[in-house]
Amino acid sequence: MLWFLNLSTKSKIVCCFSLMFALIVIVIGTAYLGITETTQSQQELFRENYTTSLDIVELRSAQNRARAQLLEMMMTDDRAKQQALERDIRERTEDIDKKLKELTAIQKDDPFFLSALQELVVVRDSYRKAREEQISLILGGKDEAARQQGLGQQEERYNKIRDISLKLEQMEKEQAKQRLTQSEQRARTSLVIFLLVGVAAIIISTAMTLAMNKAIAKPLTEIAAISERIAEGELEVNVLSSGRRDEVGMLIQTFRRMVANIKGHADTTRRIAAGDLSGVVTPQSERDVMGNALSAMGSSLREITREIIEGVNVLASSSSEIMASTNQVASGATETAAAVSETTSTVEEVKQTALVSSQKAKSVADTAQRAVQVAQVGRRSVEESIAGMGRIQGQVEAIAESIVRLSEQSQTIGEIIATVNDLAEQSNLLAVNAAIEAAKAGEQGKGFAVVAQEVKSLAEQSKEATSQVRTILNDIQKATNAAVMATEQGNKAVEDGVRQSKEAGEAIRQMSMSIDESSQAANQIAASSQQQLTGMDQVAMAMENIRQASEQNVTGMRQVELTVQGLHDLGQKLKDLVARYKV
């Protein structure tokens, strides 16, 4: 902790706010990485698994539709309708080719999927060639031959295509479940990391604020209180020493030296007032105005006292015969002159002390004002941090809205699947009705019964496919809901970060107010010292007038010097007076 106290005030503030900025960047980075991973997982799930499953379902639907149209070609004798059905079959075939290319491009990094898909392509090519032969037979009017070719190996190919498609769907379903599990785990991990980093940032910010308050505001408050006592004239104050080497530590040491210097000058003044001129005043430096003045005053008083002693001895020896006549007047004039001289010197010393006190108080006020400016800069930095957290909150809310829109699109797809399921139900009902009609037709309706059975089989497969797609959609919606919850929790954590930053800003604001109060107190001390200096100037002028009046009295007394008795009395009094001073 001592190394922190020894840093300059500027370094402390820069260090603290740099640490706060780093913590904010870490919190923002953690939130951004968590949200990015969740969004990327959702996009991969939609782009690969959902799109692949939908393509497989559409492929199976197109395959079933093409087979149903082939059976319909067998059942109709209308040449134009057969040609129209042929065109539809070829369009379905082209759609299937496109879906296979899309699946190959999407799953190019999955060797197992590509292997199964390649097997599907091989079987489908064989099935497609046989179907082309069936179409040629149908268009040639050989319906029975085409029907026989559609049975046996061709039917096995069709069933194998269906089995491979179901296998691919199952693979995508398992992969989708794994991706969902991984996405949920990453979301939980990101949330835990975000919360831990946020709590650590709050704790460090609080500790940093308390440390700054203890390092700057508390010492300045103590100095302001001591300055107030000195301004009131109390010199018996105790300034605790500090081993700090920053501006506050230098201010404390300078303040200690100032108080000790003022105390020393006050003691010297008291000794001189008591008549002890033997003490030697050592100035602190060449710029020590009060110390140099006291030293010069002590030397002058000692020299004057020695000369007075010599003069008094001469005066006493010459006026011993006439001491009775001028005793009272000479004593009064001498006492007045000595008192005025002593008072004038003392006033000059106090004036110099007041001047030094005024300069020191002004220095303290300037230091406190600079501390106020630094605190204001810190307050503005915290406000900018709060604004940055607000922008992060807006970005998190935008991501939440995007995920909600994805959920709404999934619901729209569910509605489309419900419509497909209804169509499958209707196809199944039509197949049942067709089977009933074929049964009524007897032997002639057997071919139609086969077609009806195939249509029913296709309808059931379509229904099963829509059920599987609905299951996948439900899983996607669950993952989307989990992502929305994670985003909301991240938004709450950002709001907590904003609140804690505001609390830190409020603490800095209060610290700024405290420093401002200290600055005002220092200004008051400076003003008080200036008033004292002005008052001492007025007192010095008054004492100068008194001194001039005393000189006039002394001149009058010189006229009385003709009376030897007065001179003798004056000599005795001067002896007694000079005896009070120790030189």
Structural domain spans, the chain: 1-203, 295-578
Q: Quote the DSSP letter at residue 274.
A: T
Tokens 């639907």 identify what position? 61
For position 455, what pLDDT does the model report? Answer: 65
For position 232, what pLDDT does the model report? Answer: 80
Q: What is the topology classification, in CATH, of domain 295-578?
A: Helix Hairpins (1.10.287)
For position 281, what pLDDT does the model report? Answer: 67
* Total-model pTM: 0.35
Closest CA to 179 of 53, 33, 44, 52: 44
pLDDT tens, N- to C-terminus, the chain (583 residues)? 555 666 666 777 777 778 778 878 887 887 777 677 767 666 665 555 566 667 777 777 777 787 787 778 777 777 888 788 888 888 888 888 887 777 777 677 777 777 777 887 888 888 788 778 777 877 777 767 777 776 777 778 878 878 887 887 787 777 777 777 777 787 788 788 888 888 888 888 888 788 777 777 777 777 777 778 777 877 677 766 666 666 766 777 777 777 777 777 777 777 777 666 666 667 767 776 776 776 777 677 667 767 666 665 666 676 666 566 556 755 665 776 676 577 667 757 766 765 666 676 577 567 656 765 765 665 676 567 667 666 766 765 666 676 667 667 667 766 766 776 677 677 677 767 767 776 777 776 666 677 667 767 766 776 776 777 677 667 766 766 776 676 677 667 667 766 766 776 676 677 667 656 766 765 776 676 677 667 667 766 766 776 676 677 667 666 756 766 666 677 677 667 666 666 6
Burial annotation 173-198 (CB, 10 A radius, 16+ → b, else e): bebbeebbeebbebbeebbeebeebb
**Residue 276, SS3 per DSSP:** strand
Question: How far apart (Å, rounded) are the C-alpha atoms in residues 371 and 436?
Answer: 98
Say if CB 452 and CB 435 are below 8 A apart.
Answer: yes
For position 250, what pLDDT does the model report? Answer: 72
Question: How far apart (Å, rounded) are the C-alpha atoms in residues 388 and 438?
Answer: 75
Tokens 């599987």 identify what position? 468
Question: How far apart (Å, rounded) are the C-alpha atoms in residues 13 and 542?
Answer: 52
Say if CB 20 and CB 208 are below 8 A apart.
Answer: yes
Closest CA to 215 of 62, 375, 345: 375
Question: How far apart (Å, rounded) are the C-alpha atoms in residues 456 and 64?
Answer: 11
Alpha helical stretches, state H, 76-152? 79-106, 111-139, 143-150
Angle at 439 between CA 434 and CA 440, to 5 degrees: 95
For position 386, what pLDDT does the model report? Answer: 64
Question: How far apart (Å, rounded) are the C-alpha atoms in residues 386 and 501?
Answer: 6
Question: How far apart (Å, rounded) are the C-alpha atoms in residues 505 and 20?
Answer: 12
For position 525, what pLDDT does the model report? Answer: 62
For position 484, what pLDDT does the model report? Answer: 63
Say if CB 115 and CB 167 are below 8 A apart.
Answer: no
